Structure 1
Amino acid sequence: MAITWGIVGGFSITIDYRRLQLSQPTEGYHRLWAHRSFSACIGIRIALAVIGAAQNQWPILWWVKHHRAHHKYTDTDQDPYNATRGLLFSHIGWLLGLNESAWGPVDLSDLKKDPVVVWQDRLYWPILITVGILLPGAVAHYGWNDWKGGILFAGITRIIITQHITFLINSVAHAPWAGTQPYSTSTTARNIPLLAILTLGEANHNFHHAFPTDYRNGVNWNEPDFSRWIIWLWGRLGWVNNLKIASPLEIEQARFKRKKESTRRKSDSDEHIRALPKLPQMSWQDFRKRCDDFDELTCINGVVYDVADFKDDHPGGRDLIQQSIGKDATELYYGNHLHSPQADNILKSLQVSLLENSHH
């Protein structure tokens, strides 16, 4: 029972982190609520919220807060489990010396509008005790007269083991000596197939950091991801929808650039600008006027981007994109943290014009 309940609980954490808006149903802790990778019906959301609480990994709001900060500020001092501080810190030290004030700010407005998230946050401890500890004890008691074993093994021990398996994603999946980086070297995240099996797909971590809004954690046979197939099945049954995936072209571009060890940082952006003579010119005055007329434009390194359709997909939350509208966001983009090559590719697809007389 401990193993079965542990696997079910593991799925609730890996699947449980995506997008929450009142205008549409939402998803789970990691892929549903944290990364907005798909949308789910109210029944799936409630089930994931209840089973997720039973894993003693804190409410959805708190879990998503530190996870979004991890993706937004990866490998910096504002990353809650900054891997550059060592394996022990990224595994559990960040919790033993918990310092939320050091975390970088993230946008949680979407979660605070979701009634399931708010309900779970209010009743987190009663759900944890009832479903996580007392329920296994009751099943073992009425099933084979062993309530003590049910509470000890399927309750407390299962919770501890599930927690540490989850923490391995923060530690081992970011360790410099572990796994591979087939998609990006811009972060410490790595793919570890054996650990991916243990974590139901979460340790295909290099792919995940390169394509954080993809509901899958890998596309190849050697990138095992059991959670992906559960979400896919739910989609076929009509319980979830809006499953997001990175385009095959984007994935191949990331692989190609990784093979060439290309970083494509600021200097690469300059080269790209010179290679796009067909982009129309726009003056700064026209840029500002269009923004005043409610066009959602931003400027980075002399290039104007239309971010209207990307705001809700931004891994760091829509608030950061909203702050950049009508402004030169060059320092925000390059100074905030090292964006992945995938982020650069997405940015390239949003280009609409060049600023006239740009000195970039």
Structure 2
Amino acid sequence: MSDVLKPSRKTPPPEIAALSPPLSPKSEKADLKKSDDVVPIDINIPDNYVQHTLKTQKELPPIGWHNWWKEISWVSTTVLTVTPTIAIVGAFYASLQWKTALFAVFYYFVTGLGITAGYHRLWSHRSYNASKPLEYFLAMAGTGAVQGSIKWWCRGHRAHHRYTDTDLDPYGAHHGLLWSHIGWMIVKPRRKPGVADVSDLSKSAVVKWQHRFYLPLIIGMGFGVPTLIPGLLWGDYLGGFVYAGAMRLCFVHHSTFCVNSLAHYLGETPFDDKHTPRDHMVTAFVTIGEGYHNFHHQFPMDYRNAIKWYQYDPTKWFISVCSMLGLASHLKVFPDNEVRKGQLTMQLKKLRRTQDNLLWPSDSNDLPIISWEEYLKESEKRPLIAVAGFIHDVASFMDEHPGGRHLLAKNIGRDATTAFFGGVYDHSNAAHNLLAMKRVAVLRGGQPHGTEELAIPPSQKLRIARYNEMSSPYSSTAVSDTETLLG
């Protein structure tokens, strides 16, 4: 069963609320300090924290030939270079057995799920609750991916979500594809990442256990298990070390890194285009389901990345199966109504871009207003026809009219409203739209009450307008976020 996201604190009944005065900010903080061992690190940050920090925090100097060796993060650089070196060199000495290959793929998914289902969706975003056995399994599996401890990884990821596309984002995509993929780990960050609270993780027994035994867990899960299982079961110690150990680790690393890089560059933005995250099936295949990143950044506490049944998201499927087995609970799902609002907003924006590239009839406020006598006099000089209160110049369409030139000619200088709206022929929407493009004037008193509907061409009855454009007296509106439908 999936739980809709709910406020973390329930509103007290009116009778209780009336008896209990609201807590002041100071008493809230004091109560928090009494009830929790660890106070959230961001509890006292100012309202203008981002702007203030970017303005006052000093960046490290630019990297050049004179200082590059001082700016390298040697620990992460060693891990990211030695591992592929072992895999490439080892491949010349260890033949790949099919059993080892299958196990390497299997262990890739095990350790990858440790990151996606564990580090990411469980601990970073708290998108579901996990039983203790599942927590320990995910902690050990995630350690086998060798990407830092849960606490360190989640602290950086929460900062990434809070400060997306700013200089407080530890692996901001605005710095370039290479930087967001791997550069931020190779080079020391130019400034500290923005503050992000992980006090909840500091109270987790599993997180503390993993943090305490992280080094032996890396050795055991990163290389021990993938070496021993092939070795003990079918005698392929070297192949297990090379393929299930080193090579598998390279793939897991870059699979995760693609979430920071490709998922911010490749694909579409079906839910929101405020920031760089995007959705793409290819990225999803590469990242064990994390490629529907536009959805994820818009609804980060949802346990899903893919919301359609056919979209590739094995992490979601894994969590769902764990829920069926009683190992996971309280799977959070963002309200479908709000998800669909995001989709509608983006669809309206696409329609608006299409609409802005089309030519539309002149606004009635921009057209001259003429009397019936002026209309009759002017129609003697050029082919003008009155329809629904507007004067139309049909000179360019006389020889193109499907019914023949004579039908237009006989209505020059007349009111052809009845004939146009079904009296002679019930014209198509395309004809209505085209006629509106030929407006040259407004007939004074020529729009009787109740016929306003005839004056609006079909293409404009569902025209997309922004909230500050809804000034037409002939418009009715249905508002959705910053875009509206005039209909």
Tell me the TM-score range normalised by the shorter chain. Answer: 0.5 to 0.7
Instruction: State the alpha-carbon separation in 1 of the partners of residues 304 and 120 from structure 2.
Output: 12
Task: State the structure with more CA Rg.
Answer: 2
* CA distance in 2: counterparts of 1:261 and 1:189, whole angstroms: 17
Superposed displacement of residue 194, structure 1: 1.9
Residue 3 of structure 1 corresponds to which residue in structure 2? 105
Deviations 1:8-43 (A, max 9, x none): 111111101xxxxxxxxxxxx100000010001100
Q: SS where residue 51 of structure 1 aligns?
A: helix
Shift of 1:53: 0.3
Describe the shift of the 1:43–1:101 C-alpha distance in structure 2 as closer, same or farther (beyond 3 A): farther
Of 306, 311, 324, the match for 1:223: 311
Deviation at 1:223, TM superposition (A): 3.2
Q: How far does residue 92 in structure 1 lie from its aligned partner after superposition?
A: 0.3
- CA change 1:120–1:85 in 2 (3 A) is same
Letter in 2 for 1:82: G
Is the contact between residue 136 and residue 154 of structure 1 (CA under 8 Å) also seen in structure 2? yes
Q: What's the counterpart of residue 338 of structure 2?
A: 250
Partner residue of 2:175 out of 85, 92, 117: 85
Given the alignment of the two structures, is residue 204 of structure 1 paired with residue 306 of structure 2, yes or no?
no
User: What residue is the counterpart of 2:188 in the other structure?
Assistant: 98
Contact 1:193 1:222 in 2 (8 A): no
Residue 112 (structure 1) aligned with residue 202 (structure 2): yes
CA distance in 2, matches of 1:89, 1:106: 21
Q: Which residue of 1 aligns with 2:164?
A: 74
Instruction: State whether structure 2 residue 111 is matched by structure 1 residue 12.
Output: no
1:285-334 superposed Cα distances (whole Å, 9 cap, x missing partner) = xxxxxxxxxxxxxxxxxxxxxxxxxxxxxxxxxxxxxxxxxxxxxxxxxx
Structure 2: gaps spanning 5 or more residues: 1-102, 351-479, 482-487
CA distance in 2, matches of 1:209, 1:130: 34
- Which of residues 149, 157, 163 in structure 2 aligns to 1:59? 149
1:163-242 correspondence runs (5 A): 163-175=253-265, 178-221=266-309, 223-242=311-330
The 2-side partners of 1:242 and 1:197 are apart by 26
Offset from partner CA, 1:114-150 (integer Å, 9 cap, x none): 0100110111110010122012211122122221111
Residue of structure 1 aligned with 2:128, choices 38, 53, 70: 38
Query: CA offset at residue 224 of structure 1?
Result: 2.0
Distance 1:41 1:197 in 2: 28
Distance in 2 between residues matched to 1:100 and 1:65, nearest whole Å: 17
Residues 217 and 223 of structure 1 are in contact (CA less than 8 Å); yes or no, is this contact kept in structure 2?
A: no
| 1:126 aligns to 2:182 (yes or no) | no
1:318-337 to structure 2, matched below 5 A, reads none
> Which residues in structure 2 correspond to 1:254-333 (within 5 Å)?
254-261=342-349
How far did 1:100 drift? 8.2
CA distance in 2, matches of 1:36, 1:100: 29
2: CA distance, partners of 1:124 / 1:31: 20
Mapped partners of 2:177, 2:164: distance in 1: 15
User: CA–CA distance in 1 between the matches of 2:189 and 2:122?
Assistant: 26
1:85 CA displacement = 0.6
Rounded Cα–Cα distance in structure 2 between residues aligned with 1:13 and 1:119: 17
Provide the rounded CA distance (Å) in 2 between the counterparts of 1:62 and 1:196: 24
User: Which stretch of structure 1 is more off in the superposition, 57-66 or 138-147?
Assistant: 138-147
Tell me how far 1:219 sits from its aligned partner.
Answer: 1.1
Deviates more, 1:82-91 or 1:133-142: 133-142
- In structure 2, distance between residues paired with 1:193 and 1:63: 25
Using the TM superposition, name which of 214-223 and 110-119 deviates more: 214-223
User: What letter matches 2:259 in structure 1?
Assistant: I
Report % sequence identity: 40
CA offsets, 1:260-291, max 9 Å, x none?
Answer: 239xxxxxxxxxxxxxxxxxxxxxxxxxxxxx
Instruction: After TM superposition, give the deviation of residue 222 of structure 1 in Å.
Output: 5.2
SS in 2 for 1:90: helix
Any conservation in 2 of the 1:214–1:244 contact (CA below 8 Å)?
yes
User: Is 1:50 matched with 2:152?
Assistant: no
Q: CA deviation at 1:86?
A: 0.4
- 2:252 aligns with 162
Hey, what's the Cα distance between the residues in 2 that align with 1:9 and 1:136? 11
**Larger relative contact order (C-alpha < 8 A, sep ≥ 6)?**
1
Which residue is equivalent to 2:234?
A: 144
Question: Cα deviation per residue 1:223-274 (whole Å; 9 max; x = unaligned)?
Answer: 3211111111111111111110011101110111112239xxxxxxxxxxxx
User: In terms of mean alpha carbon deviation, does 152-161 or 205-214 score higher?
Assistant: 152-161
Question: Matched residues in 2 for 1:86 and 1:173: separation?
Answer: 13
Cα deviation code 1:67-124 (max 9, x no counterpart):
0000000000000111011000000000011328520000010000001001101111
Measured after TM superposition, the shift of residue 198 of structure 1 is 2.6
The CA deviation string for residues 159-199 of structure 1, in whole angstroms up to 9 with x for no partner, is 11110011011001111xx2010000011000011221232
Equivalent-residue separation in structure 1 for 2:276 and 2:349 (angstroms): 15
Matched residue type, 2:275: T
CA distance in 1, matches of 2:225, 2:326: 29
Contact 1:35 1:213 in 2 (8 A): yes
Cα distance in 1 for partners of 2:141, 2:111 equals: 6
